[in-house]
Amino acid sequence: MKIAVYPGSFDPITNGHLDVIERAARLFNKVVVAVSRNPEKQHFFAFGERLEMIKLSVTHLKNVTVDSFDGLLVDYVRAKKARAIVRGLRAVSDFDYEFQMALTNRRMAPQIETVFLMTDYRYSYLSSSFVKQIADLGGDVSTFVPPAVARRLKKGAR
Ligand code: ADP
């Protein structure tokens, strides 16, 4: 059984994240999307909302589950009996941070591999912060995010 964990803030989930989840779901028997609880990080959406929006967006993927974690990611991955951490790559700008994190995690848990999946080029510029800014300014974000997120972000919904 090949299990992968896809960790992140997902604040909120975008079509770029979803594209990575769909790719991972084709590669692994089971994919756990793990929302970081990290109370030190300032989030736009409350933890429960981030989780709920992902759940509503992955209903078509039968081997994907949504969960949360706090503490060390490698401890969580071990507890889930997963062998791989999935991360998404957009542009070179993601590389430094992802490289550092992957090597640090490998140092702590050599048996866990980080697997990088490239998003479709249509989403390579897309980020959660961009989506939030556009929504905040009253723009239409429906081409950037799954329908559940678009509904939530619609002006006046907050
Ligand atoms: P974190 O705070 O852990 O970086 P994010 O939710 O911002 O959490 O991102 C989670 C993962 O998804 C990261 O590996 C990030 O590079 C990747 N990611 C974010 N947006 C996209 C996108 N548009 N296409 C592909 N990967 C993405």
Question: Is the CB of 50 inside a 6 Å radius of any atom of ligand 1?
Answer: no
Give the CATH class of 3-156.
Answer: alpha beta
Query: Cis peptide leading into 39, omega within 30 of 0?
Result: no
**d(Cα 29, Cα 16) in Å, to the nearest integer?**
21
Is the Cβ–Cβ distance between 9 and 41 less than 8 Å?
yes
**Is 55 tagged catalytic?**
no
Q: Supply the pLDDT for residue 155.
A: 52
- Centre of ligand 1 to C-alpha 120, Å, is 13
Beta-bridge partner residues of 89: 118
pLDDT by residue, tens only, the chain of 158 residues: 999 999 999 999 999 999 999 999 999 999 999 999 987 788 899 999 999 999 999 999 999 999 999 999 999 999 999 999 999 999 888 899 999 999 999 999 999 999 999 999 999 999 999 999 999 898 999 999 999 999 998 854 54
**Is 60 tagged catalytic?**
no
Encoded amino acid at 154, one letter:
K
- Centre of ligand 1 to C-alpha 88, Å, is 6
Q: How many CA atoms does the CB half-sphere of 38 hold within 13 Å? A: 17
Q: Supply the pLDDT for residue 42.
A: 87
